[in-house]
Structure 1
């Protein structure tokens, strides 16, 4: 009915509209892609009658996602995680397979069919879980690493399942099955060894040569080529493409190019991942799904319960904390994308009926759709599952009773916060910090820093770290909107504290002061002051005079430093247009309306601009006298917001 181009155009239009709508109501974009796939698929609008046509392109999204994940894991880290990958991962897959196989045989009465169902349900979604963990900054947490380890083993376990199911359907002997599995293991070990050797000795040299050319598109092309070749190589030897991409990324993760590689691959990864989730949504037949909804929900509950119990108790037995064990278990409750592959394979060999296949596809789509919401609410869910006596001590318990003795509270423990902390330590000033990055807090605590995990915009956290009593508070992150939220909470409990706020520039200076900041330190203006101090010192100006001038600027809230001359690279959007302050020089020709008018007679305030200076005959007058009349050829230097400056220029020229 529709051409390929028209179909894609309609799919993209629906996807854009749904992603916008879902993000507006703070729902994950994955849900929007799934809904777009359901709408565009063969069972609703029929714009794309055969989703398999796009499956290979969509699968590239998973390849690039795993390549990005591999960049975050070095070989030593993977060796250190072998207990989790081959211990916990193997226990989860084998345990789940055994339980589901038994239940499946009791219902279906056929071991081959039961194995297909068990294989589909035992695997979790690498694409959804890793994407959501990355977006919520949980990949580096312990529970995130436990989840990744299990997913890596599941990707390996797909291979024997895809080999065994056709053999069982064809009535293969035990000897043929064992031989096929042995050959798959030998091929897998060989291709992994080749990839690791190439990644360690050839790729760093190749990327060094490419980087020396300083051509961005060449670097991007090389990155895509490496990820796809690695995935294609493992696929050719019977392993998953995602596993090969992960190994290639892991080898390059030890190089100095890892951050550039990740940045280059991200746009392609996100677009292709979106296409992948739409193809998942296309597989759902709405009529069958609605008719069998009770079975879908029952299977999801049973699948989630089995995975939760196995992962939680095996992880606990391996020494993981209760919170991390439950956190990874909850994250992996769903059916994965490889489950669709197993269902399709089993259906092609007539191991599963159309009704059973439809129910399993419904289980996969529905459980994957719910997963982003579950991972977003992971902390509260884990808190419900973990008994209070075993729970990780909350911040109130971790902060000692002597918080009242702390002289400084640092909100945000990034680079600036850590630098402040080091100087306070050097002077023996007691202080405490709070930060919401779990990896940073873990590293800092291991190094002996007085930092605690928590969101400093929450009143309970601020109260726990003594914000109500501490005399000096520093907000060290450069997110003005978040800083305003923190300021309001601080001022609600402590009106006397001196609060120093770091800001990237002076766009929100007034808002920060109104919210309760005692002093705002804009990065750009302070950098300018430091540069000025070096220049003046090198020019022979006495240091006392320099310090006095700098202090005067700070007391004046950087008054003389507001406003700048815009250039061709200056970006102005609707958010910054009313915050920026420009300097603009207006040359008065003979016919200008303002010629002959005295400075005092011109109503500068009505046009919301300031007369910063007047240049006449190459002599600049910073504070022109009020009775001074403007002449033709004068250059008037105006300061104000962009639209006010433009309007004032027309006023001076035309009246």
Structure 2
């Protein structure tokens, strides 16, 4: 029976293509974002084969924008920003101004209006949150001074772009060359700022109390499903309400919803449970952006594409190096920050789409921005390794040095434990190891948990334990025991296999949630596997059998 299901077809085509190209990108050790963009090109109208519905894809992209900005808000930390404010605030502003000027120069060369040049330059000035955080995680720099400066710098850029997204529609008439009196313009800007200020005040005064209270109520219902639904309802509801009532962007509404929610530990745990949905719609956002890209622009405007890429990769990097060095930071910090910012991403796409929608930016400008994004994201891992001094020889020396230090730190005749994960189970294990005065190191990927472990006084290594380099830095070869406390059994299996290859004699203890995970972990080399449900049932039976 024939069915007309353009929405289902668009979602299926986007996710299938994104999975295929994302897997290829992972295999090539480049950012998955580049794979998602290429997936959009494949299912877009400018290439042969399956063509997804562009209009529906853009609607889905709006959800992706909301959830992406919600995630940015969740990771926004006033404390982290204030710690690097002396470099991040002026540095980001100066770098935005420099990159915008370079982009405006390209626009003038192409014969575009001054307003188009401003939008084009701003789009080239802001880096991708997704790509930057991934690069810092891979380089294990996210908790270093260099990483904190880069993240603080990016937060300032994000806030500046949120303000631009809010003000740009209000300035569209003037930017498009339409006559408008100074009084009308001032009134328009003032009204927009008043609405934004009213929304921010409402969120900080009312939302800061109502949102945590709503989440606590949902948590106390005992329904995990209702708890997750509450988080999504708050994220999407605040974003939509902000746009409908205050005429501000979905992006700003979602950002403040995430920021208010991210201030409470309960809220952060709730947000973690919704990450798969956020990631799925974020993928569709990048796919929808890729669908807008016409590959012929590379042939027809090759010189302009190259100039755009040079602004992103070279111009921004040189500006960042000069600014960071001017503020007295060492060359390694300057190069790491420069490498982190040598790409563009989600805010650039939002600005380009809004600029075209308002009639300010020509279609060619959006194509150049998309081309610059795709190529800079592809090049970023290589640039990052080169500029940050992470060549394979340097990496091997650093790994060997860190492993040597870890080995020297361990007691000669004692045991050394590597604990993977500092979630709810990992924290309890770490407390027990500390009470027993065991020598152990924690490997954790999530920055908030890394910080929490360090605040508790533990030795922590930030990184993904499934990577051989990370295990090497944890001195897995000298460890006597590996304890895996992460809840994902099959991901734990990868860690077990690689740890066993590096240290065949190590004792491995792992955690599982199902019989399938237990069998899998034992097959790949775990010595002991603990399944939480079994242990709970065993303990309940023991209590039931014991005399009252």
TM class by smaller structure: 0.7 to 0.9
Mapped partners of 2:5, 2:533: distance in 1: 52
Q: Find out whether 1:22 has 2:34 as its counterpart.
A: no
Q: Find out whether 1:369 has 2:382 as its counterpart.
A: no
- In the TM superposition, what are the counterparts of 1:207-222 in structure 2 within 5 Å? 207-214=215-222, 219=227, 222=230
Q: Deviations over 1:161-189 (max 9, x none)?
A: 44445303225566765554444333322
Give the 3 Å change call, closer, same or farther, for CA 202–296 of structure 1 in structure 2. same
Q: Calculate the TM-score normalised by the size of structure 1.
A: 0.64
Q: Secondary structure at the match of 2:70?
A: helix
Question: Structure 1 residue 283: deviation in Å?
Answer: 1.4
Partner residue of 2:298 out of 289, 292, 311: 289
Partner of 2:103: 100
Mapped partners of 2:366, 2:263: distance in 1: 39
Partner of 1:395: 402
Question: Structure 1 residue 193: deviation in Å?
Answer: 0.8
- In the TM superposition, what are the counterparts of 1:328-343 in structure 2 within 5 Å? 328-340=337-349, 342-343=351-352
The 8 Å contact of residues 108 and 114 in structure 1, kept in 2 or not, is answered as: no
Any stretches of 5+ residues in structure 2 without a counterpart?
486-491, 513-517
Mapped partners of 2:215, 2:537: distance in 1: 40
Question: Structure 1 residue 381: deviation in Å?
Answer: 4.3
Partner of 1:71: 74
Partner residue of 2:278 out of 266, 269, 283: 269
Q: Find out whether 1:203 has 2:233 as its counterpart.
A: no
Partner of 1:634: none
- In the TM superposition, what are the counterparts of 1:41-80 in structure 2 within 5 Å? 41-45=44-48, 51-52=54-55, 54-73=57-76
Q: Secondary structure at the match of 1:507?
A: helix
The 8 Å contact of residues 101 and 114 in structure 1, kept in 2 or not, is answered as: yes
The 8 Å contact of residues 396 and 464 in structure 1, kept in 2 or not, is answered as: yes
Partner residue of 1:486 out of 499, 503, 510: 499
The 8 Å contact of residues 343 and 377 in structure 2, kept in 1 or not, is answered as: no
Q: Find out whether 1:117 has 2:117 as its counterpart.
A: no
Partner of 2:519: 507
Q: Calculate the TM-score normalised by the size of structure 2.
A: 0.74
Partner of 2:260: 251
Q: Secondary structure at the match of 2:343?
A: coil
Q: Secondary structure at the match of 1:475?
A: strand
Partner of 2:236: 228
Higher RCO (CA-CA < 8 Å; seq separation 6+)? 2
Mapped partners of 1:64, 1:232: distance in 2: 12
Instruction: Give the structure with higher Rg (CA).
Output: 1
Partner of 1:383: 388
Partner of 2:197: 189
Give the 3 Å change call, closer, same or farther, for CA 437–38 of structure 1 in structure 2. closer
Q: Deviations over 1:338-364 (max 9, x none)?
A: 5455556655777655xxx32x33333
- In the TM superposition, what are the counterparts of 1:222-621 in structure 2 within 5 Å? 222-235=230-243, 237=246, 239-255=248-264, 257-259=266-268, 261-263=270-272, 265-315=274-324, 326-340=335-349, 342-343=351-352, 357-358=363-364, 360-370=365-375, 373=378, 380-384=385-389, 395-396=402-403, 399=406, 401=408, 403=410, 405=412, 407-415=414-422, 431=439, 433=441, 435=443, 437=445, 439=447, 444=453, 448-452=457-461, 473-477=480-484, 479-491=492-504, 499-504=506-511, 507=519, 511=523, 520=528, 522=530, 527=535, 531=539
Q: Deviations over 1:542-580 (max 9, x none)?
A: xxxxxxxxxxxxxxxxxxxxxxxxxxxxxxxxxxxxxxx
Mapped partners of 1:217, 1:455: distance in 2: 29
Question: Structure 1 residue 205: deviation in Å?
Answer: 3.0
Give the 3 Å change call, closer, same or farther, for CA 535–206 of structure 1 in structure 2. closer
Give the 3 Å change call, closer, same or farther, for CA 170–218 of structure 1 in structure 2. same
Q: Deviations over 1:430-470 (max 9, x none)?
A: x35362537455655565544555777777777777666x5
The 8 Å contact of residues 70 and 248 in structure 1, kept in 2 or not, is answered as: yes
Q: Secondary structure at the match of 2:157?
A: helix
Partner of 2:489: none
Q: Secondary structure at the match of 1:476?
A: strand
Mapped partners of 2:406, 2:58: distance in 1: 52
Give the 3 Å change call, closer, same or farther, for CA 443–104 of structure 1 in structure 2. same
Question: Structure 1 residue 329: deviation in Å?
Answer: 3.8
Give the 3 Å change call, closer, same or farther, for CA 473–529 of structure 1 in structure 2. farther
The 8 Å contact of residues 124 and 333 in structure 1, kept in 2 or not, is answered as: yes
Mapped partners of 1:352, 1:466: distance in 2: 53
Mapped partners of 1:408, 1:340: distance in 2: 52
Q: Aligned residues, how many?
A: 520
